[in-house]
Structure 1
Amino acid sequence: MESSVPSEDRQRAAPSDNPRVAYRHQMLGLCTAGSSFYLAGRIVIPPLAVPIKDGFGIGNAEFGLALSILWAAYALMQFPGGVTSDATGHKAVLVGSMLISGVGFALLATGGTYEAFLVAALVTGVGGGLFMIVQFRFLSVLYGDNKGRAFGLSGGITGIAGVVAPIAATSIVGVASWRHPFAAMVVIVIAVALVLHVRVRERYVFERPALSAAVSRSIDQISSAKILLLMAITAIFSVAVQAVTTFIPLFMYEVKGLSLSMSGTMLSVYFLVAVVARPISGTLSDVVGRRTVAGSALVFSGVLLAYVVLVAKPFYALLVSFALFSWAIVSFSPAMDAYYMDLFADDSMGGAFGLARTFILFVGSTGPYLIGVGAETSGFANSFAIISGCLVLAGAMLLATTRAF
């Protein structure tokens, strides 16, 4: 594979080397733009749960199934995306994944049946899964030891999309079709693909990855007790995140009695907090330790989620406690993602991290369906309470084993 990305960038560009530093920052901006617009298109689905359910005549379980399919596809693309980027470089996967996401959004904008909605969710998940894993690898190569800060900045800025998109989506209900936001996203993600095509300094190299060797190397890297424990803990986090971001708007609407627009705004609060929390978490993990930051985030998020679900009643208490929960849980990813990248070898980083994320996110993809079923059998409160307990347990395990590994 040939790439015009300078080899020195695979470690850390010298601060005085302005062209290389400028290129790193430009790539950080482009990767962040891609993840932001993908998130915007995906995150409007939960706030639009009511009109989508009404339009297709489905219940919570069927709606949760669609989101689980999206996340399962997202998960299953992690390893293929990582292995492909190890073999061919980043450019082809970054550009191709944005185009696939555009197809998914187009299907969401036009599909007229529930079955078509499921297919659209599947394609959208494929595009996002390919993009996100390669983005992590690309930024890790460019930023070296400062990857935690880069991941935090990217995640924080991406959170702006999560702030704006739910508010914009719910504001158009009653004025225009719920499909219109997805039509807009088709144009935007194709534009991002074109800019990536022009600006990423790599040649297109189309090689078939050596899958058997890649699988063997990746399995070797993730098969230690240390990595398996980390994967189990991160899978619990993934279930919680998918469950919360899918059903918190509906929970706020049906259980807490908020209006449809205010329920969508609560999801925006989650991403607004992430704009500030993720860069702080990533930078802090570079300084005080990745496991300490990640473990503390899980413990606090579990306690705060229990309070949101079981205790918080006045609106101000609900808002403040949910904002604090959001701060805690979004602080986990920048620290833990950087920790995984610290552990994996450079030549198989994409495949190893991709295989780990495939397991993590595939388990996480069950979250929306499980909460949807749980909401219809025992109620939202009981389902979320179980998740809060699992978060506390996972965080305690991570903190307790910090010295053991």
Structure 2
Amino acid sequence: MSDPVDASAPDTADADGSGERLVTGYSGRLLLAVSLGWGVIQSGRLVISPLLPAIATDLGLSSTRAGVAISVLWGLYALLQYPSGRLSDRLSRKTLLVGGLGLLCVGFGTLATAPVYPAFLVGAAVVGLGAGLYPTPARGLVSDLFVARRGQAFGLHTASGDLGGVAAAGLATLVLAVATWRAAFLPVVVVVVVVAVALHRWNREPYVVDRVDLAVTDTAGRLLGEPRLRWLLVSYSLYAFTWQSVVGFLPTYLQATKGFSPSLANTGFAALFVVGAVAKQIAGTVGDAVSRSLLAAAVLVVAAVTLAVLVVATSPTVVLVAVVLFALGLMAYPPVMQAYLMDSFPTDSMGGDLGAMRTVYIGLGALGPTVVGATADAYDFTLAFSGLVGCLLASCLLVVLVRNR
């Protein structure tokens, strides 16, 4: 078995943070490249949501079948979080990152050419597998490069995913105006290739292929045996269930229940990520200076209250304002909690530990689109989204209880 690769370079991480440059030097180049990769992955996955009404019409999908496709993508994505993190700890971050981008090219290409629902499911599955190899090694790389400025780096990195959401909304609106929904995935493939080349050239790590003991039992015992981590995992799972449900069906919900036009619904979807990009950077910076657990609980309260307002509002103006405030609370949570978790993991297993937690909370969260779609088919979207308010409140309560203990 290969020894773990030390991804840190002499000019990347000084004890006082003076070598941790966010936009220049070795650390800055890699942070920007890996963040661009995360942004385009999010754009490619999230563009499915504003395109969903057109996809459903073209392929003849019910809300339940559409939800299943999204759950397949997110479920396989979740399944690979732990092994990708463990492999990146024992092989190299570069091996997993570039390999995942290669699979994504195949997956998005399949989505662009899928003539029927089964082919669309295959494309979604391959995208899920490729995406699953990327984010945990990416976050591990960010942690390798940054220590004193880790919160700021995570804020920038996670905010790139929100910029991808904004790009997804704009891309969907443009594509639907001039072409069919299939064309939306072609520019995604191009950018994925560019990022793969950049990481191949800039990252000093070697490519490493070897057999690795995944140590599932040891990792599970370490995470589940600690009550604090166990309850934080449940909290994050409730958050992930809400997040994946909202990003999967928000444009459809705004059109079906609030009477929005497709362009206005896509504007609301974009607002979710525009605000999120700013909120994550601010939350990451604030989280370096205050209690991360207290900040996490506070932003969950904001998200729950404003989602409740969104559900009951009838005025388009009030709905859009509620979406903005909801995004402020919802999107501020990940950089705060992920930095908090990384602080709690052993250095030599942080990628695998974070990956194991991500496998569980994203896997459980992947059930959200299916549950929301099935609830909408059986009842309506109002009931489905009302249940998400309860998920956020329960998540907040668990964070508070862990903090008090």
Structure 2 residue aligned with 1:70, among 70, 73, 78?
A: 73
TM score, norm. by length of structure 1: 0.95
1:109 aligns with 2:112: yes
What is the alpha-carbon distance in structure 2 between the residues aligned to residue 273 and residue 260 of structure 1? Answer: 20
Offset at residue 358 of structure 1 (A): 0.4
What is the alpha-carbon distance in structure 2 between the residues aligned to residue 76 and residue 29 of structure 1? Answer: 26
CA-to-aligned-CA distance 1:79-129 (integer Å, 9 cap, x gap): 110011011111111111111111110010111110011111111111112
Offset at residue 222 of structure 1 (A): 4.0
1:118 aligns with 2:121: yes
Partner residue in 2 for 1:192: 195
| AA matched with 1:248 | L
C-alpha contact 1:13 1:143 (8 A) present in aligned 2: no
1:336-351 aligned within 5 A: 336-351=337-352
Offset at residue 274 of structure 1 (A): 1.1
Partner residue in 2 for 1:290: 292
CA-to-aligned-CA distance 1:184-229 (integer Å, 9 cap, x gap): 21122012111110000111121211223x6414532442111110
Structure 1 runs of 4+ aligned residues shifted over 6 Å read: 17-21
Secondary structure at the aligned position of 2:178 is classed as coil
C-alpha contact 2:16 2:148 (8 A) present in aligned 1: no
Distance 1:46 1:20, change over 3 A: closer
TM score, norm. by length of structure 2: 0.95
Secondary structure at the aligned position of 1:287 is classed as coil
Which segments of 5 or more consecutive residues in structure 1 lack a partner in the other structure?
A: none
Offset at residue 11 of structure 1 (A): 6.7
Partner residue in 1 for 2:365: 364
Partner residue in 1 for 2:31: 28
Partner residue in 2 for 1:146: 149
Partner residue in 1 for 2:234: 232
Offset at residue 155 of structure 1 (A): 1.8
Distance 1:251 1:218, change over 3 A: same
C-alpha contact 1:222 1:352 (8 A) present in aligned 2: no
1:314 aligns with 2:290: no
What is the alpha-carbon distance in structure 2 between the residues aligned to residue 13 and residue 98 of structure 1? Answer: 34
Partner residue in 1 for 2:204: 201
140-149 vs 75-84, which deviates more? 140-149
C-alpha contact 1:219 1:352 (8 A) present in aligned 2: no
Secondary structure at the aligned position of 1:24 is classed as helix
1:24-173 aligned within 5 A: 24-173=27-176
What is the alpha-carbon distance in structure 2 between the residues aligned to residue 99 and residue 113 of structure 1? Answer: 24
CA-to-aligned-CA distance 1:243-295 (integer Å, 9 cap, x gap): 00011100100110010111111110000001210011111111111111111
CA-to-aligned-CA distance 1:298-320 (integer Å, 9 cap, x gap): 1211111011012x222211111
| AA matched with 1:125 | G
Counting matched residue pairs gives 402
Partner residue in 2 for 1:256: 258
C-alpha contact 1:100 1:123 (8 A) present in aligned 2: yes
CA-to-aligned-CA distance 1:146-187 (integer Å, 9 cap, x gap): 222111111223322211221221232152111011122112
What is the alpha-carbon distance in structure 1 between the residues aligned to residue 349 and residue 52 of structure 2? Answer: 40
Secondary structure at the aligned position of 1:402 is classed as helix
What is the alpha-carbon distance in structure 2 between the residues aligned to residue 19 and residue 65 of structure 1? Answer: 39
Partner residue in 1 for 2:275: 273
What is the alpha-carbon distance in structure 2 between the residues aligned to residue 307 and residue 103 of structure 1? Answer: 41
Offset at residue 20 of structure 1 (A): 11
1:365-380 aligned within 5 A: 365-380=366-381
181-190 vs 274-283, which deviates more? 181-190
CA-to-aligned-CA distance 1:336-358 (integer Å, 9 cap, x gap): 01111011101111111111110
Secondary structure at the aligned position of 1:266 is classed as helix
Offset at residue 297 of structure 1 (A): 1.2
| AA matched with 1:271 | F
What is the alpha-carbon distance in structure 1 between the residues aligned to residue 174 and residue 322 of structure 2? Answer: 25
Secondary structure at the aligned position of 1:203 is classed as coil
Distance 1:112 1:14, change over 3 A: same
Secondary structure at the aligned position of 1:211 is classed as coil
C-alpha contact 1:217 1:352 (8 A) present in aligned 2: yes
1:6 aligns with 2:6: no
What is the alpha-carbon distance in structure 1 between the residues aligned to residue 176 and residue 20 of structure 2? Answer: 50
CA-to-aligned-CA distance 1:14-68 (integer Å, 9 cap, x gap): 5168799721111110111000111111111010111100111111000000000
C-alpha contact 1:78 1:355 (8 A) present in aligned 2: yes
What is the alpha-carbon distance in structure 2 between the residues aligned to residue 226 and residue 254 of structure 1? Answer: 41
Distance 1:110 1:390, change over 3 A: same
Distance 1:11 1:230, change over 3 A: farther
Secondary structure at the aligned position of 2:68 is classed as helix
What is the alpha-carbon distance in structure 1 between the residues aligned to residue 180 and residue 268 of structure 2? Answer: 22
Distance 1:17 1:290, change over 3 A: closer
Which segments of 5 or more consecutive residues in structure 2 lack a partner in the other structure?
A: none
Distance 1:3 1:309, change over 3 A: same
Offset at residue 400 of structure 1 (A): 3.4
| AA matched with 1:70 | L
| AA matched with 2:233 | M
What is the alpha-carbon distance in structure 2 between the residues aligned to residue 135 and residue 181 of structure 1? Answer: 25
What is the alpha-carbon distance in structure 2 between the residues aligned to residue 163 and residue 20 of structure 1? Answer: 22
C-alpha contact 2:107 2:124 (8 A) present in aligned 1: yes
| AA matched with 1:316 | T
Partner residue in 2 for 1:301: 303
Offset at residue 231 of structure 1 (A): 0.3
What is the alpha-carbon distance in structure 2 between the residues aligned to residue 97 and residue 160 of structure 1? Answer: 20
